[in-house]
Structure 1
């Protein structure tokens, strides 16, 4: 006897179109299209919120810009170093400053810190040297502590250098606790007043008056960092330095100067002249830093500008302009001299050279010689090469006291 084939248990219920069944006719599906539409709506909303926030921020900045500028100018006067107090340092000499600045500049560039971090670190260093007697074996340690404090104050947390990294850059010359003690001592000396309106902050306010020009901004950075190497600019306020450096940068790049009504137009002409006189004495570390394309290669631009100035000066010297002779005119005697207006006659005008001469460079006792630092390079190695400060001839017998790994374990401070 033959039995009929078994039927499917759900055969009598017909076709089931539940979500367990794949729909091969529409690959995207209704839910996929709905999710894509929601994501697009969220993106449009985020863009609108960002544009609204930028507009509100711009409006608020323009409204409170004068108040912010007044506050910054008042704060810069309270946090300026004293040049006369640094002058009376017994062991710290001015020829040591470029070597320490080279070390700080290379460390700042290696950690990719913000531009204002370097200026704040130098300000903390000078303010500390204005209040405390610093031994030259601790000069580099004070610079490291100032850089560490400034990075913690205004830079991003992931880029703040660690004590281990600073110790490695100093070739393990100082112990870990020496960095911590020096950092605490700097803060205590300055009464924990770290905030200082840097020159980069004033530059940002000045550059908001014109269209965005990265080359002009990088050139201004180069000039302001170059000014850190020279003691003549320590007493110059950051607001004056920012406006003067911006005016010089516009002159080098052949950019039009700002309008007389703008804040950036109130620069100091004497500071501009002094900055231009020191352009031909750059630091090699500064040249290497600003030779990078992402900094617009402004060091190469300045080198070409100085070469053009030298060629122009040589051309004026070898080919002076001929003197202008006065034109002889026979005066005609009028019928009535009292009724005719008379103009006084002048003599011949002096000779006017073609072109503008480069201002002469006044030699300084601290910056002379072929290197511009006024010392013998063979006797004083760089700070960046594992020697914090150069020993003098009188301390040659005690050189191993601070040059070897058994260096003094605790910093000595003079109250």
Structure 2
């Protein structure tokens, strides 16, 4: 011990396990203090950067908005060109979008990545003839390009992961070739302003409300599944979906003089008509707690609206029941655009259109009302459209929830 004290007095403190000292905790405390100081400095720098960014954005807000509106007009798909496709049909679209929604959620990508991927898919189908067996490959290439363009690098899916999600239907080279072909076809113009980008601008001035944001994204993703919204501009769709979301959640609407309050009533009405038949995959995605369970909120809202409609359509009650009638919910409490009423909500399916496990042919299932007239029960979507059997290009068969795949021949 005397040697230890002599050594410490001559050479100072030695932080070693050979030295028996009770001051080891001092260095841990000092290291923790230095780390805390660095964290505080980083937070202060981030706050300064955000403030400078806000001041700059306010100065160039009009120029940014003009550029986004110009870009959205230049990067809109052509619905008429998609109509003349020889093999892919509109009834195949929900199958592919269900697959993209599941892949997007599996890789935890940003919301704007999904909207950009669907835009790239539609723009490619507007310019090139797409075979049925390559429809899923184009969707994967669009998702890969969108993730590389604006998402975090550590979350960008790899070709091997996409190949596994496609049940090894395509080779590695096919993903690379299709990615290159999509970029060449679109002249390397990827910067499409998405619904999420316009939504962030609309919510910029208001107080942050995550439930309103999640509800708006849910309504906007429902619109992706329907042909009538393919030609709708993202700026119009974002403001209309926001107005409908605030109506469902009984939030105050933006002023009509503001950019966010200038929604399209026709678009709001069309969006509300499609709330009754969401995709089952999409409904399950937005039923999670981290997305505010907005799909459950929509179902409860539609049930209340159906009850109000049935009460309004009921015959007049005798005078003895007037007091109970006076206590029924007031429909005027919902601000903004009103959701249209459905007379038979209980008879409407809540999980998408009627489809068998194998993708039907367009000639057999071209009319969406056939399933309703036959009273078929809703079933789960397969991940992708099932191609026509081809001797030269064998396709996987969907059986008991799994794909039975033969070796793909390019």
TM-score range, shorter chain: 0.7 to 0.9
For 2:201 and 2:224, how far apart are their aligned partners in 1? 21
1:401 is aligned to 2:394: yes
Q: Deviations over 1:277-311 (max 9, x none)?
A: 00001000001100110000001000000000110
For 1:251 and 1:286, how far apart are their aligned partners in 2? 21
- The residue that corresponds to 1:341 in the other structure is none
Q: How far did residue 400 of structure 1 move?
A: 6.8
Q: Deviations over 1:353-410 (max 9, x none)?
A: x85896267xxxxxx999753x642542899746x4234xxx557597233423232x
- The residue that corresponds to 2:62 in the other structure is 66
Which one of 266, 273, 294 corresponds to residue 270 of structure 1?
Answer: 266
Which one of 190, 203, 222 corresponds to residue 194 of structure 1?
Answer: 190
Q: How far did residue 97 of structure 1 move?
A: 0.5
Which stretch shifts more, 300-309 or 85-94? 85-94
For 1:397 and 1:78, how far apart are their aligned partners in 2? 38
Q: Deviations over 1:334-358 (max 9, x none)?
A: xxxxxxxxxxxxxxxxxxxx85896
Return closer, same or farther for 1:21/1:161 CA change in 2, 3 Å cut-off: closer
Which one of 356, 367, 383 corresponds to residue 377 of structure 1?
Answer: 356
Return closer, same or farther for 1:172/1:313 CA change in 2, 3 Å cut-off: same
> What TM-score results when the alignment is normalised by the length of structure 1?
0.77
For 2:58 and 2:155, how far apart are their aligned partners in 1? 31
For 2:78 and 2:31, how far apart are their aligned partners in 1? 65
Number of residue-to-residue matches in the alignment: 356
Return closer, same or farther for 1:49/1:376 CA change in 2, 3 Å cut-off: closer
**In angstroms, what is the RMSD of aligned CA positions?**
3.4
Which one of 72, 76, 88 corresponds to residue 76 of structure 1?
Answer: 72
**What runs of 5+ residues in structure 2 fail to find an aligned partner?**
319-329, 333-337, 343-347, 361-378, 397-404
- In the alignment, is the contact (CA less than 8 A) between 1:81 and 1:235 conserved in 2? yes
For 1:173 and 1:148, how far apart are their aligned partners in 2? 17
For 2:380 and 2:121, how far apart are their aligned partners in 1? 16
- The residue that corresponds to 1:359 in the other structure is 340
Q: How far did residue 89 of structure 1 move?
A: 1.0
- The residue that corresponds to 1:231 in the other structure is 227
For 1:247 and 1:370, how far apart are their aligned partners in 2? 22
Return closer, same or farther for 1:355/1:191 CA change in 2, 3 Å cut-off: same
- In the alignment, is the contact (CA less than 8 A) between 1:111 and 1:160 conserved in 2? yes
For 2:33 and 2:158, how far apart are their aligned partners in 1? 47
Look up the SS of the partner of 1:265 in the other structure.
Answer: coil
- The residue that corresponds to 2:279 in the other structure is 283
Q: Which has the higher contact order (CA 8 A, sep 6+)?
A: 1
- The residue that corresponds to 2:400 in the other structure is none
Look up the SS of the partner of 1:249 in the other structure.
Answer: helix
For 1:25 and 1:177, how far apart are their aligned partners in 2? 63
Q: Deviations over 1:33-65 (max 9, x none)?
A: 988876666555444333322222221122222
- In the alignment, is the contact (CA less than 8 A) between 2:199 and 2:239 conserved in 1? yes
- The residue that corresponds to 2:206 in the other structure is 210
Q: How far did residue 16 of structure 1 move?
A: 9.3
Q: Which has the larger radius of gyration?
A: 1
1:92 is aligned to 2:88: yes
Return closer, same or farther for 1:321/1:55 CA change in 2, 3 Å cut-off: farther
- In the alignment, is the contact (CA less than 8 A) between 2:278 and 2:350 conserved in 1? no
Which one of 301, 305, 314 corresponds to residue 310 of structure 2?
Answer: 314
**What runs of 5+ residues in structure 1 fail to find an aligned partner?**
1-9, 323-353, 362-367, 410-415
